[in-house]
Amino acid sequence: MYVSVKGGERAIRNAHGWLAEERRGDRNVTELSLAQIREQLTLAVNRVMAEGSLYDPDLAALAIKQARGDLIEAIFLIRAYRTTLPRFGYSEPLDTARMTCDRRISATFKDLPGGQILGPTFDYTHRLLDFKLAAEGDAPQAHSQPATQGEVPHVTEFLNNEGLIEETARTGKAPPDLTREPLEMPAERALRLQALTRADEGFTLGLAYSTQRGYARNHAFVGELRIGMVAIEMEIPELGFAIEIGDMTVTECETVNQFKGSKTEPPQFTRGYGLVFGQTERKAIAMALVDRALRWEELGEDYVGAPAQDAEFVLSHADNIQATGFLEHIKLPHYVDFQSELELVRKLRRTVQAAQSQEAAE
Amino acid sequence: MDMLALEGGFADPARTAAHAFRAVMAAMARPGTLQQIAGARPPAPLSPAAGAVLLTLCDADTPVHLAGAADCPALRDWIAFHTGAPITGPADCAFAVGAWDALLPLNAYPIGTAEYPDRSATLIVEMPKLTATGTPLRGPGIKDRAALSLPDPESCAANAALYPLGLDFVFTCGDTVAALPRSTEVL
Amino acid sequence: MNDLSSQNTDRKKWMSLLAKAPEGRIAALLDTATARPGFDWLRAPEVGSVMVRGRMGGTGDAFNMGEMTVTRCALKLGCGTVGHGYVQGRRKACAEAAALIDALMQTQAAPRIQAEVLDPLTEETEARQTSRADKAAATKVDFFTMSRGED
């Protein structure tokens, strides 16, 4: 039996009205402006841009406001908006060696050319609540000292000079695009990296942590972590040359992992790579660890059945919009499905009861 | 890139493209009917209709193959500026444009796969004349019978036999457009 | 040929500068420098996206990272000079001003536009970058050895 029902328009309309009122909160409290969100909740804005897969701080701020601070809902809004944009083309690959670094640290080399730059980091804070912030005081000015920055070479290039680290091949191959072709297995590394850079931070963090705890041996050092501004270049067909069409803050993490060697490769260090929109340090490190774990096959390592080694598992479940869409749909009306289950359970019970009373009678 | 390439696009892109899309959709949905399509002024030898179809349907994600006389620098530049579509060979194009003879052979184009029948090419065929007479057509979108002045009914029938795989055809002449989707039977 | 490529180098420089200017800034500088010339659109301002690519391991093959918003337009001055505008974000007015400046830089107005629009914009951009770099420099670690054990 199929029962079609209709209704709820008035209830939905009123629910949306109440949502709008609740979003605003107490009207005696000043309304949030997008500029406030963009400037003061920057790391939330960065996460929404990274996982929404669209770099536009103003849009991300709007999405956060509209979503009442629910970042996954905000990411959903950005993903939906993104699909309405005509695509002008593809940028030249970012040259992160030319980044103007806000932060640049290495856990493997103390004295590296360009130095260790801490930047605006939470590291070394005591994680004690600062009640001064509740009092709306003026923020202190940051210290400055004249910078002497030239090019800041990648740390892994030093190891490369000695041949102690694997080379990253450069063949000029055009990468696949997850936003144009559906995900198909096996997924090459370029596709995995695209999926990981927009993957849910919590999921990526959990997987990365699992590799550290021993689910896929993967003892990683942060060879280098850098955060800063890079220029985006694109070839303009009507001009016949490339121009910079903007700049953006990105976080790049390169991990160095010990590798015992395989039949074809000598013992050396291998690399994991993370590159994420915005200042998104936890995500970039986690991405590099998961990238490295997923590379077991091409490096000739053993598959030990760890979740982080299973590309199908990782890539199919890393996207929080897909996940939340499927998860949350089960709260929507399933009256008919449930009705049939109800019928089934009643029938089974009748059968069991009949059998029991038969037994009792005998 | 010279001036010719930069001019001749849709003056009011959102509206004109919507009208042009409607015309192409009507042509596809009602095989054998002629639709008017306007707004584009492409460089020679392309017709305004074919130009409007390209502006409406092509972008950076749809490789275009230019066949025969259509493959000229002026047109390459025009397509690059107005649509951003990459120019490619027949084997991996999403759209191909040119005169019928220049487009042949038909087996050079992708016809889709069983899993993704949509990964096939649409051929925009420039016609010296285009009328709703000639080869009889039957199928979805046609009430009883329709007809179209097809360039080569036999090849078109062979293409329809590949359904659900196969090519789709858009015929253009001046500012007129007609279509023959793979789902139409060519009698 | 040489001449052409040096022209392109200059044009690349000013277009890149205009693409990254803060909201409203280029229009303000342009309108202070000169009255806007008449023009026809070749491509009206449109907002779209560009897929940004990174390199695997920073130096390897490319992969797609995610998109950014870009606004572009193209116009033709009365004299026939063509100007292109590409700016980051969703900023149609900025794209229009950028395209006008690009066109004017190819006319006799170039020295004036250079002095009154591009030079101040370059200075402002450099000042912003220097201020940030100087703050970063203040967080650079100076390691020093407390004591060293004998042999």
Query: Domain boundaries in chain B?
Result: 3-186
Closest to C46 (Cβ–Cβ): which among B7, B13, B81? B13
Residues A217 and A191 in one domain: yes
What number of residues does chain C have? 151
Q: What is the DSSP letter of A135?
A: G
How far is CA A207 from its chain centroid?
12
Q: Is residue A88 part of a domain?
A: no
For chain A, the domain total comes to 2
> DSSP 3-state assignment of A157?
helix
Q: Which residue has the higher pLDDT, B149 or A182?
A: B149
Whether A111 shows a pLDDT value over 60: the answer reads yes
C88 touches chain A (CB under 8 A): yes
C67 touches chain B (CB under 8 A): no
Q: Which residues partner with A270 through β-bridges? A: A257
Residues A214 and A314 in one domain: yes
N- to C-terminal Cα separation, chain C: 66
Number of residue pairs across A and B with CB atoms under 8 Å?
A: 23
Whether B51 shows a pLDDT value over 90: the answer reads yes
Q: pLDDT of A252-307, one tens digit each?
A: 999 998 777 777 777 888 899 999 999 999 999 999 999 999 999 888 888 899 99
Residues A112 and A252 in one domain: yes
- Predicted pLDDT at A299: 85
Residues A110 and A217 in one domain: yes
Residues A157 and A232 in one domain: yes
Q: Would you state the structure tokens that stand for residue B147, as one six-digit string?
A: 């007809």
Superfamily of domain B3-186: Bacterial phosphonate metabolism protein PhnH (3.40.50.11310)
A238 touches chain B (CB under 8 A): yes
CB contact under 8 A, B84 and A88: yes
User: What residues in B contact A240, CB-CB < 8 Å?
Assistant: 1
* The Cα angle at residue A234 between residues A231 and A239, in degrees rounded to 5: 130
- Predicted pLDDT at B113: 94
N- to C-terminal Cα separation, chain A: 38
Q: pLDDT of B100-148, one tens digit each?
A: 999 999 999 999 999 899 999 999 999 999 999 999 999 999 999 999 9
d(CA A291, CA B142) in angstroms, rounded, equals: 54
To the nearest whole percent, how much of chain B has pLDDT over 70?
99
> DSSP 3-state assignment of A231?
strand
CB contact under 8 A, A242 and C62: no
User: What residues in B contact C76, CB-CB < 8 Å?
Assistant: 3, 6
- Predicted pLDDT at C1: 40
pLDDT classification of A3: cutoffs 50, 70, 90: low
For residue A341, CA distances in Å to A338, A345, A354, C52 come to 5, 6, 20, 49
The arithmetic mean of pLDDT across residues A163-171, rounded, is 81
Residue of A nearest to C56 (CA): A273
To the nearest whole percent, how much of chain A has pLDDT over 70?
98
CB contact under 8 A, A87 and B5: no
Whether the Cβ atoms of residue B177 and residue B35 lie closer than 8 Å to each other = yes
d(CA A292, CA A158) in angstroms, rounded, equals: 20
- Predicted pLDDT at C3: 53
Residues A255 and A229 in one domain: yes
- Predicted pLDDT at A350: 93
Q: pLDDT of B174-187, one tens digit each?
A: 999 999 999 999 99
The CA-based dihedral angle spanning residues A274, A275, A279, A283, taken in that order and rounded to the nearest 10 degrees: -40
What are the extents of the domains in chain C?
Answer: 2-137
Residue of A nearest to B57 (CA): A86
Whether A206 shows a pLDDT value over 50: the answer reads yes
Whether A237 shows a pLDDT value over 90: the answer reads no
d(CA B34, CA B23) in angstroms, rounded, equals: 9
- Predicted pLDDT at A4: 62
Q: pLDDT of A171-203, one tens digit each?
A: 888 899 999 888 888 999 999 999 999 999 999
Residues A161 and A294 in one domain: yes
Distance to chain B for C42, nearest Cα, Å: 6
The arithmetic mean of pLDDT across residues A336-362, rounded, is 89
Residues A201 and A309 in one domain: yes
For residue A178, CA distances in Å to A195, A196, A296, C6 come to 7, 11, 22, 38
| Domain of residue A78, residue span | 9-82
Residue of A nearest to B84 (CA): A88
pLDDT classification of C119: cutoffs 50, 70, 90: very high
Q: Would you state the structure tokens that stand for residue C31, as one six-digit string?
A: 């309108």
Would you say the ipTM is above 0.85? Answer: yes
- Predicted pLDDT at A7: 78
Distance to chain A for B112, nearest Cα, Å: 14
Closest to C74 (Cβ–Cβ): which among B6, B12, B13? B6
Whether C2 shows a pLDDT value over 50: the answer reads no
Contacts of A among chains (3+ CB pairs under 8 A): B, C
- Predicted pLDDT at A244: 97
Residue of B nearest to C51 (CA): B60
Adjacency order of strands within the sheet including B146-148: B146-148, B135-138, B185-186
The arithmetic mean of pLDDT across residues C41-52, rounded, is 94
User: What residues in B contact C40, CB-CB < 8 Å?
Assistant: none
User: What residues in B contact C44, CB-CB < 8 Å?
Assistant: 12-13
C43 touches chain A (CB under 8 A): no
For residue B139, CA distances in Å to B25, B125, B160, B184 come to 16, 21, 11, 5
Residue of B nearest to A85 (CA): B59
d(CA B61, CA A270) in angstroms, rounded, equals: 35
C47 touches chain B (CB under 8 A): no
> DSSP 3-state assignment of B2?
coil
The arithmetic mean of pLDDT across residues B9-22, rounded, is 90
Mutate to test the interface with B, among A90, A238, A239, A245 (most CBs of B within 10 A): A238
- Predicted pLDDT at B12: 83
Closest to A180 (Cβ–Cβ): which among B5, B61, B84? B61
Residues A53 and A162 in one domain: no
